[in-house]
Amino acid sequence: MIAAFDVDAQRTFTPLCPNELPVAGGADIATELNAQAALADYRIASKDAHSAHAKWVVDAPEKMLQSLPYADADLTWVRHAEPGTEGFELIPGLPDAAEYDFLVYKGVEAAMHPYGACYHDLNNRISTGVIEWLQCRDVDTVLVGGLALDFCVKTTALQLAEAGFRVYLNLAACRAISPQGAEQACNEMQAAGIILVQDAALMSAM
């Protein structure tokens, strides 16, 4: 079985929310996410769901990307993806959240800021249930896209590969925070056996 995974495809990571974590082109990936979902038996999604009072929140962008002294939130970030705000919502063009076969909320604990969708913590100890949900349905292949390529998408793809799934990363269905981050993420994913594909049309030919 094949699952398509929309990772954190939320408005908070697009120019629709300029004061959160806007990623250039972040709102333009819905067509590709829909196209890869059309190739799959299941469609699942993750959504960041952060408290405005999380321990890693800073009030200005220039204070971001500073490391924290505790393990389960390694960097500081501005407020983003807060339930009830526009940034929490999926980008335009995707199904309603309730239409997904499985949906996982991540980063709910105030002391944790996980990147991957498969674990609540940074040490891959506390499962979110994604891996088990897929295993129960005999999914062996996962098609991945979302935001941002160099953080949550990369980490989620690596976690899925580590768990034994065949992982295809749809580059046209992702946008990155930085070009250097994207290049490094692609190298890391390839080294882990993840198959990078330009778009869903090429995925369908594989």
Q: Give the binding site for ligand VGL (CB under 6 A).
A: 8, 13, 21, 48, 77, 147-148, 151-152
Looking at the Cβ atoms of 5 and 151, the one nearer to ligand VGL is 151
Question: Which C-beta is closer to ligand VGL: that of 2 or that of 188?
Answer: 188
Is 67 or 206 the residue whose CB approaches ligand VGL more closely? 67
DSSP for the chain? -EEEEEES-BGGGSTTSTTS---TTGGG-HHHHHHHHTT-SEEEEEEE---TT-TTEESSGGGTT-B-SSTT--B-EES---TTSGGGSBPTTSPPGGGSSEEEEE--STT---SSSSBSSTTS-SB-SHHHHHHHTT--EEEEEEE-IIIIIHHHHHHHHHTT-EEEEEEEEEE-S-HHHHHHHHHHHHHTT-EEES-HHHHHT-
Q: Closest separation between CB of residue 77 and ligand VGL, Å?
A: 5
Least CB distance to ligand VGL at residue 13 (A):
6
Distance in Å, CB of 133 to ligand VGL, minimum: 20
Choose between 152 and 173: whose C-beta lies nearer to ligand VGL.
Answer: 152
In the bound complex, what is the minimum distance in angstroms from residue 144's beta carbon to ligand VGL? 12
Our CB check for ligand VGL shows the closer of 63 and 137 to be: 63
Q: In the complex, what is the shortest distance from the CB of residue 131 to ligand VGL, in angstroms, rounded to a whole number?
A: 19
